[in-house]
Amino acid sequence: MRARLLIGVSCVLAACAAPETNDARTETWDEPHNFPAVDDNIAHDTLLIQTTFDLGDGSYVMVAGNVTDTFEGLRLYRYKLVNDSLPEMIAVSSPAYDSWTMLPTFFPVDSLTPTGSMWVLANFGEKESWGQKLMLLDGAFHDLGFMDVALPERILEDDTLRLKLRNIGPFMRCSTRGETTTWRFHCDSVYVYDDQAGYYDQILAASRLHFTYSQAEGLSLWLDGVKRPVKAPA
């Protein structure tokens, strides 16, 4: 994961109020699944588990890395328990590499998608967010692109007002029409690392941008009504 260089920008405090847009008023927007985090329920000699989520269908997703630190770092593991603490692995994601976090936010998909499938936005980062990897989870984790966005927040730290970049996944909402799924932001402002048009490290009003994904066209960022295909990460 490339390093993030924060340049001087005019920053605003992000709040949890939904932007008023025509689309937001006329479409149904799905909130993230509120899957509970549970205590570790497997015994594994080689994995160091950070967090485990109960998906409510008898399966779990855990965030885990190797006990011995490696460059590949964290992965997401979907599994079921065969008996007691013996896991049966269903799907394993690609690695987060040098990221310290791979915290997932789960979203429902349309009714045509097989039962048990869901969208996953995985927050990458170290002490702060680097953005969200988009995946489709069914019998496997399918990587679909990367959203270079975070939630900007001003906090008072050591008597200094500082900008912190947080996980924006829980503040996103999705809606599907036909073959296209759209993600919008349920907050006032979005920190955009890369606007896919040559500008970096901006804080923009959440109502100005959204993402879409379709199998035919892939992941796209829309800014002020202009579509910008998302480049694959370097």
Tens digits of residue pLDDT in 106-119: 998 865 444 568 99
Task: Identify the pLDDT of residue 25.
Answer: 52
Q: State both tokens at 180.
A: 């296209």
Task: Identify the pLDDT of residue 22.
Answer: 41
Contacts 24+ apart (CB under 8 A), 202-205: 202/9, 203/9, 203/10, 203/11, 203/12, 203/152, 205/19
Q: What is the largest CA-CA distance in the chain?
A: 54
Q: State both tokens at 22.
A: 């025509």
Dihedral sign, CA of 181, 185, 189, 192? negative
Greater model confidence, 88 or 45? 88
At residue 24, the 3 state secondary structure works out as helix
Task: Identify the pLDDT of residue 59.
Answer: 93
DSSP-derived secondary structure letter, 26: H
Dihedral sign, CA of 168, 170, 172, 178? positive
Query: Confidence class of residue 51 from pLDDT cuts 50, 70 and 90?
Result: very high
C-alpha dihedral over 44, 48, 54, 58, to 10 degrees?
Answer: -20
Helix (H) or strand (E) holding 110: none
- The domain segmentation of the chain, as residue ranges, is 22-229
Under 8 Å between Cβ of 102 and 166:
no
Asked whether the predicted pLDDT for residue 210 surpasses 90, the reply is: yes
pLDDT tens sequence across 85-110: 788 999 999 999 989 999 999 998 86
Q: What mean pLDDT comes out for the span 112-130?
A: 84
Which backbone phi and psi does 171 adopt, to 5 degrees?
A: -100, 15
pTM of the model: 0.85
